[in-house]
Amino acid sequence: MLELDTRQVKMGQRAADKAEALALMGGFLLEEGLVDKGYLAGMQAREAQGSTYLGQGIAIPHGTPDTRDAVRQTGIRLLQFPEGVDWGNGQRVYLAVGIAAKSDEHLSLLQALTRVLGEDSLEASLREASTSEHVLAILQRTPQSIVVEPQLIALAQPAEDLDDLIAIAARRLRQADCAAEGFAGALYDAAPLPLGDGLWWVHGLRRVKRPGLAFVTPATVLSHEGQPVKGLFCLATGGEGHEALLERVCELLAAGHGAALAGGMTVAQILAALGAEAAPDWPSATVPLANAHGLHARPAQVLTQIAKRFDGDIRVRIAGSDAAPVSVKSLSKLLSLGARRAQTLEFLAEPLVAQEALPALLAAVQSGLGEPVEPLTEQDLARADAVTSDPIEALVDDTPSAIEAVPPPPAGSTWHAVAASPGIAVGPAYLHTVRSFTYADHGVSPEVERTRLRDAIHASRAELGSLIHRSPVKAIREIFVTHQEMLEDPSLVEDTDARLAQGASAEAGWMATINEAASTQEALEDALLAERAADLRDVGRRVLARLCGAEDAIEPDNAYILVTDEVGPSDVAKLDTARVAGILTARGGATSHSAIVARALGIPALVGAGAGVLSLAAGTPLLLDGDRGMLRVAPDAATLARAQEERAARVARQQAADARCMEPAITLDGHAVEVFANQGDIKGTPAAIAYGAEGIGLLRTEFLFMAHAKAPDLAAQEADYRQVMDALEGRPLVVRTLDVGGDKPLPYWPIPAEENPYLGLRGVRLTLQRPEIMETQLRALMRAADSRPLRIMFPMVGSVTEWRQARDMARRVALDTPVKDLQLGIMVEVPSAALLAPVLAAEVDFFSVGTNDLTQYTLAIDRGHPVLSAQADGLHPAVLKLIDMTVKAAHAHGKWVGVCGELAADPHAVPILVGLDVDELSVSARSVPLVKARVRELDMTKTRALAQQALDMAGPGDVRALVEAFD
Ligand code: PEP
Ligand code: MG
């Protein structure tokens, strides 16, 4: 640590410009014997690379790394310039702190200086200081506490440059309520400082609510001013000191931990390294968990949804554990708790939201989070006490013993899990638990172990090559290609090498590296990225099996249901699909690779069923319904027979529908209904067409905006829209303009907290407030269209004025970007739009009914409500009446109407919607064949009569019964 004393300060200096100030500083350091003459050139070169202005009137001139040889003795000297010196970029320096450092000693100085930077009056104090004692006193003020918490750490973020990282850090600080709106803008004026090891430092002084430190790393190494960028510390500081933390950061770097901070450490490790508090001192409440399978995917999802309604940080941990509480808003983190039945959850909520959030969360847990729950017994509670609850352990421990503590679901019971791949499967349980290998911790010698590892990786790569070659399904091939890429990752070998050098065996070193990397991945807030940890573990096990010379397990001869913890893609792909009737996993989500593989192979699958399924006795008869997300354990003969029949009928129906999917959907009496596909990405168009889609009926353009760290520019959007239009080969494209707000947040477009976001700024209301974003999108769409059929619709239109404003904007854009075949319409998602359909129909070209939102607004039921959403049925006669009004109004003006909500694919709803004379149904691509087949069964006269009857029913149940009787 560098000490400061008054002899190191020269007061009352004057310099005409920065060059003169640097010369003065060079001279001061030289006369004090700290540096040789050449150091001044180094200081000048450093300024040329980037200003050393630190903030609040302080600059820290120092030499470049290659002029360290010119440093004779480490030390610092201070020059006070009461009149100030122009340091460039409009920044004025009143105190120059010249650093002569042989290594990284200047970090401790930086720490001492930054401590005081937050003080608004600092600049004036330094300027006005009359004695060197005064200057030093200003620089040595007492530190205060600063927020460092999990949500302020974001690892492996998609970022293209340092600015992106700054934006992410600023967003985290805002979300943690450390900074207010405008903080990010203020940051861009601050010059980021390299700290070494690819780590950078930036701090913001304005728009700070409370001091906080964010740490962000990019997914790939970036570059800034010719130097690598592997991580960024971003400090929000607003008048309070923060010495302890800065000291910690600087100590960490000086002690050589920079490389680990920049990559390799988990969030928990980083927090621990920074000395963050394990748990915040917030109001808390506890509640025992009664769900039979613990906090598995479904109930966890319900919990995250409830938490997301509150605009503040809410965390949870298992009561009594030392682990840092995790964010309730992160599904992957919730799952990583591994909370089991009868364990007590401890919720902690920021004081601002605690009063409302804690009772809501407690009530939701008590009511079972959407699952029926049995009351807890004494025995349950005693068992829960015996279970360990360290979340990190739970994640990395893949031995069966950690899982056996949960009892199996009893015979005759029905369980719910995430429906990952559709279809009904029946068969005995075949438990495929992760094999545990025994191996020595210590190796023969680093060289021997290195060779063994290299050989095992080489063999695994070849094995993957042959799997790629053999896999009939593209999605599976792509996964193995990804696995091969993972094996190419030099950091895996480098990290293992370091362990081998310390004496580890190839097996122990490799698995330690894999577990560490997978845990880091699992700690990510992005559920999709977190799920990729399963692939890393899969790759890890493949190499381990090679190192241990293990043979593959032998699967049974007859059709079975594969029951496993978290199936790796290679496990599934290796299985004989003729014998795997279904897949049931304890962990995983609908987007995990195992789910993707199961879908690609057409194997019915349920995932995230909870640890209990791993305790099922081998051979237990199982009935798995991949459509309804339901598992029956040892069902009785009658249930089984019904399911078998249903399965046979479904399979036959799907096959027949698939065979005729390219034919149009025409009723028995010759009425044509267009069947289009809904799409949420750019790539899916060819697949949709292959399923028989006659066009894209709803392109949800949010995906494009969500895939970027900031709003994509005109060229990026045009390229993406063009890709969709090209793939459509002249078929119509119905595009919805950006629909964010409410249930669809956009990270870089933060919407001020609203009491009720569903009734707040969202959809077109929001985009009309940002005309530049909307105009760019419209222009990109029109440019991409050329002469192809383009239909643009605006989401959440609730008034004629909104429609007219949006239409006028589109017309203005079309003036300079004309499109030959353009229609402009609205989505009917708000009851007022349906009620005003007679007025709107005169002006729009078409309507598309978004039944998902129309139902929630008509019935006043949140579409994501954990309990009530099941009642948000679009076949409610009230919703049907609004659709009927819309169609009648449109047809009176010769306009067409589509339905693009989930209702359009519901087999009960198709006859009603067709009977109400809806012209187009837009559904998920996979549903196109079945919807077309359903239309072909109908007779228009009878269907119209059915629809009229439905309008007069009392509730959705009556409508469904009516349709069943009709069939
Ligand atoms: C709808 O609301 O029915 C709709 C199609 O839009 P989204 O589900 O994207 O809100
Ligand atoms: Mg909608």
The residues spanned by each domain of the chain are: 6-139, 150-274, 284-291+299-389, 414-435+553-638, 446-547, 662-966
pLDDT band of 685, cuts 50, 70, 90: very high
pLDDT confidence of residue 530: 63
| Among 857, 873, 886, 900, residue to substitute to test ligand 1 (most atoms within 8 Å of Cβ) | 900
Which atom of ligand 1 is least distant from the CA of 900?
5
Q: Which of 1-15, 614-628, 643-657, 833-847 has the lowest mean pLDDT?
A: 1-15
Q: Residue 642 has which token pair?
A: 């019904």
- Do 6-139 and 150-274 have matching folds? yes
Do 2 and 45 meet the contact criterion of CB atoms below 8 Å apart?
no
| Among 847, 853, 903, residue to substitute to test ligand 1 (most atoms within 8 Å of Cβ) | 853
Q: Is the CB of 900 under 6 A from ligand 1?
A: yes
Residue among 303, 358, 306 at smallest CA distance from 335: 303
Q: Is the CB of 563 under 6 A from ligand 1?
A: no
Amino acid sitting at position 444: V
422 against 772, higher pLDDT:
772
Mean pLDDT calculated for residue range 182-199 = 78
Q: Which of 76-80, 359-363, 437-441, 657-661 has the lowest mean pLDDT?
A: 437-441
Ligand 2 midpoint to CA 568 (Å): 35
Residue nearest to atom 6 of ligand 1 (CA): 850
pLDDT band of 793, cuts 50, 70, 90: very high
Mean pLDDT calculated for residue range 177-190 = 75
Q: Where are the beta strands (DSSP E) in 680-821?
A: 696-700, 733-736, 790-794
pLDDT confidence of residue 590: 54
The average confidence (pLDDT) of the chain is 82
Query: DSSP letter at 780?
Result: H
pLDDT tens-digit map of 49-93: 777 877 778 888 888 877 888 888 888 899 999 999 999 878 899
199 against 2, higher pLDDT:
199
Domain 662-966 has CATH 3.40.50.360: no
pLDDT tens-digit map of 907-957: 899 999 999 999 999 998 888 999 999 999 999 999 999 999 999 999 998
pLDDT confidence of residue 829: 97
pLDDT confidence of residue 388: 33
Instruction: Kindly state the percentage of the chain with pLDDT values over 70.
Output: 83
Q: Is the CB of 851 under 6 A from ligand 1?
A: yes
Check residue 142 and give left, alpha or beta (phi > 0: left; psi -120 to 50: alpha): beta
- The SS3 call for residue 79 is strand
Mean pLDDT calculated for residue range 16-28 = 94
pLDDT confidence of residue 392: 25
Q: Which of 90-99, 101-110, 129-138 has the lowest mean pLDDT?
A: 101-110
Domain made up of 414-435+553-638: CATH architecture: 3-Layer(bba) Sandwich (3.50)
CB atoms within 10 A of CB 838: 14
Mean pLDDT calculated for residue range 897-909 = 92
Q: Is the CB of 829 under 6 A from ligand 1?
A: yes
Mean pLDDT calculated for residue range 544-561 = 76
Q: Where are the beta strands (DSSP E) in 837-892?
A: 846-849
pLDDT confidence of residue 758: 82
Q: Is the CB of 744 under 6 A from ligand 1?
A: no
pLDDT confidence of residue 831: 98
Ligand 1 midpoint to CA 744 (Å): 10
Ligand 1 midpoint to CA 939 (Å): 29
Given 3.40.50.2030, 3.40.930.10, 3.30.70.120, 3.30.470.20, which CATH number is that of 150-274? 3.40.930.10
Ligand nearest to the CA of 901: 1
Mean pLDDT calculated for residue range 390-407 = 34
pLDDT confidence of residue 393: 26
pLDDT confidence of residue 526: 54
Q: Is the CB of 702 under 6 A from ligand 1?
A: no
pLDDT band of 129, cuts 50, 70, 90: confident
Virtual torsion, Cα 13, 16, 21, 26, nearest 10 deg: -100
- Rounded CA-CA distance 956/950 in Å is 9
CATH topology of domain 284-291+299-389: Histidine-containing Protein; Chain: A; (3.30.1340)
Q: Residue 941 has which token pair?
A: 């006269």
pLDDT confidence of residue 651: 86
Residue range 446-547, CATH number: 1.10.274.10
Mean pLDDT calculated for residue range 459-483 = 78
Mean pLDDT calculated for residue range 100-109 = 66
pLDDT confidence of residue 394: 26
Q: Is the CB of 380 under 6 A from ligand 1?
A: no
Which atom of ligand 1 is least distant from the CA of 829?
2
pLDDT band of 335, cuts 50, 70, 90: low
Mean pLDDT calculated for residue range 625-650 = 88
Ligand 1 midpoint to CA 851 (Å): 7
- Rounded CA-CA distance 213/909 in Å is 53
Q: Is the CB of 217 under 6 A from ligand 1?
A: no
pLDDT confidence of residue 588: 64
pLDDT confidence of residue 807: 97
| Among 699, 829, 879, residue to substitute to test ligand 1 (most atoms within 8 Å of Cβ) | 829
Ligand nearest to the CA of 678: 1
Domain 6-139 has CATH 3.40.930.10: yes
pLDDT band of 403, cuts 50, 70, 90: very low
pLDDT confidence of residue 727: 97
Residue nearest to atom 9 of ligand 1 (CA): 700
Residue nearest to atom 8 of ligand 1 (CA): 852
Three-state SS letters, 495-563: HHHHHHHCCECHHHHHHHHHHHHHHHHHCCCCHHHHHCHHHHHHHHHHHHHHHCCCCCCCCCCCCEEEE
Give the side-chain half-sphere CA count within 13 A for 278. Answer: 6
Q: Which residues are catalytic?
A: 62, 296, 593, 900
- How, if at all, do strands 418-421 and 605-607 pair? antiparallel
Ligand 2 midpoint to CA 646 (Å): 33
Q: Distances in Å between the alpha carbon of 840 and those of 477, 919, 921, 943?
A: 49, 18, 21, 27
What order of strands is seen across the sheet that includes strand 560-564? Answer: 414-416, 630-633, 621-625, 424-431, 560-564, 580-585, 605-607, 418-421
Ligand 2 midpoint to CA 854 (Å): 8
Mean pLDDT calculated for residue range 327-355 = 78
Cα 303 to the center of its chain, rounded Å = 16
Residue nearest to atom 4 of ligand 1 (CA): 850
Ligand 2 midpoint to CA 381 (Å): 44
pLDDT tens-digit map of 514-551: 988 888 777 665 555 666 677 888 889 889 988 987 75
pTM of the model as a whole: 0.48
Q: Is the CB of 850 under 6 A from ligand 1?
A: yes
Q: Is the CB of 743 under 6 A from ligand 1?
A: no
pLDDT band of 477, cuts 50, 70, 90: confident
CB atoms within 10 A of CB 808: 10
Ligand 1 midpoint to CA 700 (Å): 9
Which atom of ligand 1 is least distant from the CA of 902?
3
Q: Is the CB of 901 under 6 A from ligand 1?
A: yes
Q: Which of 665-679, 817-831, 850-864 has the lowest mean pLDDT?
A: 850-864
pLDDT band of 397, cuts 50, 70, 90: very low
